[in-house]
Amino acid sequence: MDKEQLIEEIETAFKDVLLKDGIGINEADRMEMQQRDVLVNKGRNLDRMWWQSWEDIEDKYMASYSSVMDYMDAAGIKWVMPAYMTYIVNHYKEGSFSVDSTIYTLEAGAQGSDGIDLFTDAQKKVIAKFLQYMVSVGKEWVDVESAQNALDMIWGEYL
């Protein structure tokens, strides 16, 4: 599978995903920094004000916010995962911690802080293809062992 085809499949599988009541990037970042509730709520508001869709999230956020998925619930992870996958497919050679952090989230099942699986089968299939792609192209830049483990233990059954 080539890069453009994978990105198109990600966009198709996640086209209607919205954040709704989930924990987004800014809110999770403030949670990670253990900020006061008023600042966490401000982050929540920013997520909804800045981004109507995951496709609106600029690459600079993907590059800079490498550990926010550790603080997101399942709805937040489902919303942000296609943005991270698309960013990674395009920029995995640039050394962002977001690359491996996303793979580790997938290796752990990507269910969020509430432990709920919200991905559809089509989305799970695209996640598996993303991991396959990372294993095939990322040997020098990506933790391919963890990507392969995520495929073997969780996502590979959707291929």
**Is residue 25 in some structural domain?**
no
**Is residue 35 in some structural domain?**
no
Contact between 91 and 7 (Cβ < 8 Å): no
Counting residues of the chain whose pLDDT is more than 70, the rounded percentage is: 100
Mean pLDDT of the chain: 94
**Is residue 48 in some structural domain?**
no
3-state helix, strand, coil in the chain (%, to 5): 70, 0, 30
More confident residue, 85 or 43: 85
pLDDT at residue 95 is higher than 90 = no
Q: What is the pLDDT of residues 15-42, one digit of tens each?
A: 999 999 999 999 999 998 898 988 898 8
Weakest-pLDDT range from 15-19, 46-50, 69-73: 46-50
**Is residue 120 in some structural domain?**
yes
Q: For the chain, what is the domain count?
A: 1
DSSP one-letter code for 73: -
Residue 156's Cβ-count burial label (10 Å; 0-12, 13-18, 19+) is middle
Distance CA 46, CA 52 (A): 11
**Is residue 132 in some structural domain?**
yes
More confident residue, 125 or 39: 125
From the list 143, 79, 142, 141, the residue with the least C-alpha distance to 110 is 79
Quickly count: other Cβ atoms within 10 Å of residue 76's Cβ.
26
**Is residue 141 in some structural domain?**
yes
**Is residue 119 in some structural domain?**
yes
Predicted confidence band at 45 (pLDDT cuts at 50, 70, 90)?
confident
Domain of residue 93: give its range.
3-18+54-158
Indicate the pTM of the whole model: 0.94
CA atoms within 13 A on the CB side of 22: 29
Q: What residue spans of 14-118 are helical by DSSP H?
A: 25-32, 37-50, 59-64, 74-91, 97-107
